[in-house]
Amino acid sequence: MLPYMIRRLALAVPLLLAVSLVSFVIMQSVPGGPLAIYRNNPNVRAEDLARLEEKLGLNRPLPVQYGIWLRNFVTGDWGQSLASGRPVTEMIGERLLNTFYLMGTAFLLTLLLAIPIGVLSAMKQYSLFDYLATLFSFLGFSVPIFWLGLMAIIVFAVELGWFPAGGMRTIGLPFSLTDRLRYLVLPVSLMAFHSAGQYSRYVRSSMLEVIQQDYITTARAKGLAERIVVLRHALRNALIPLITVVALDLPALFSGTLLVETVFAWPGMGRLFWRSALRFDYPVLMGIIIVTALLVILFNLLADVLYALVDPRVRLVAKGAF
C-alpha cells in the first residue's frame, strides 16, 4: 500500500505540471487579457497600456512568462494579483477558510441525511418510505439550485425576515455562534437538499445490488439478524460506489460552488475564481487551479485507498504498471 501511495504522489508532479501548462495556454489564448478592462477608457491611453504591460511583465514571450511563473511557484512565491497587487497565497488563504466553513457544514449534513435514507429506501424497496425518499431526492436534484435559492431568500429573508438574505455574519458585531448559524441555515439546507438526494440514490442503487448477492443470502441463511446483515455486510460494500462519487465532490469543500456563493453572497473561493477569470488575473487563477488540482489528486488517492480497505478484492499493489 505505501509504495503504491508514494508512486501515486510522485505521479502528481507531472500531472500538476500538465494542468498548469494547459491552463496557462488556454488562458493566454482567450481574447481579452488583464488590460482589457482599461481599453475603452479614454484616460488610459496607448502609452499607459504599454507602460502597464511592461510593468506587469505581460509583454514578455509566453514561454518566458510561464517559466518565470513556474520557477517562482516552485520556490513558494505564487506571485501577486495583477488586479490588486496582493499576494496570491494571502488571497486564496482567506477564501479557503470561508469556503470550508460553508461546504464542510453542508457536506456533513448531506451525508448524515443521504446514507440512512439510501439504506432504508433499499431495504424497504417500493414502500411508502421509499417513494417519499425517492420523491425527496428527485425534488432535490431536479430543482435549479439558484432558482430555489432566490425563492427561499424572497420567502424567508424578504417576506418573513427569519434569516438574512446573504453574507456570512453580521458585519461589525463581535463573533457569535448563533449569528453565524443564522447565516448558515439557508445555504446549508439548500445544498444538503440538493445533493443528499443524489447521494442517497447511489446508496440505494448499490445497496439493492448488494443485497441480492450470494453472500448476503448466505448470511441471511445462517440466521443472522437483518440489522447485522445490513450494517455489517451489505452497507460496507454498498458504500464503495458512493466513495468514488464522493471523492469527485470533495475538492468542492475548498473550491466552493459559484452558484450558491453567488446567490447567498458568501465570500468563498468560487467567487474569487469567477472574478479573477473575468479579470484575466493570471497569477490568482493559476494559484487556484493548482490548489484545486492538488486537492483532486489527494482525494482521489484517498478514495482509492479507502476503496481497497473496504473491498478486499481490490489490491492496489497488483494494479499493473502502477
Q: Which of residues 98-117 bind other proteins (CB under 8 A)?
A: 98, 100-101, 104-105, 107-108, 111
Q: Does 306 bind other proteins (CB under 8 A)?
A: yes
- Shortest distance in whole angstroms from residue 26 CB to other proteins: 5
Sign of CA dihedral 261, 266, 269, 271: positive
Angle between the N-to-C axes of helices 235-249 and 282-310, in degrees from 0 to 180, rounded to the nearest 10 = 170
Q: Which of 2, 3, 43, 75 binds other proteins (CB under 8 A)?
A: 43
- Tell me which stretch binds other proteins (CB under 8 A): 35-43, 63-71, 222-230: 35-43
Tell the burial category of 46 from Cβ atoms under 10 Å away from its Cβ (0-12, 13-18, 19+): exposed
- Shortest distance in whole angstroms from residue 6 CB to other proteins: 15
Q: Which parts of 12-31 interact with other proteins (CB under 8 A)?
A: 15, 18-19, 22-23, 26-27, 29-31
Q: Which of 2, 74, 128, 321 binds other proteins (CB under 8 A)?
A: 321
From residue 254 to residue 293, what is the string marking binding to other proteins with x (rule CB under 8 A)?
-x--xx-xxx-x-xx-xxxxxx-xxxx----x--xx--xx
Strand partners, 80: 87
Q: Does 158 bind other proteins (CB under 8 A)?
A: yes
Q: Does 152 bind other proteins (CB under 8 A)?
A: no
From residue 171 to residue 210, what is the string marking binding to other proteins with x (rule CB under 8 A)?
xx-xx-x--x-----------------x--xx--xx-xx-
From residue 48 to residue 87, what is the string marking binding to other proteins with x (rule CB under 8 A)?
xx-xx--xx-----------------------xx-xxxx-
Nearer to other proteins by C-beta: 70 or 306?
306
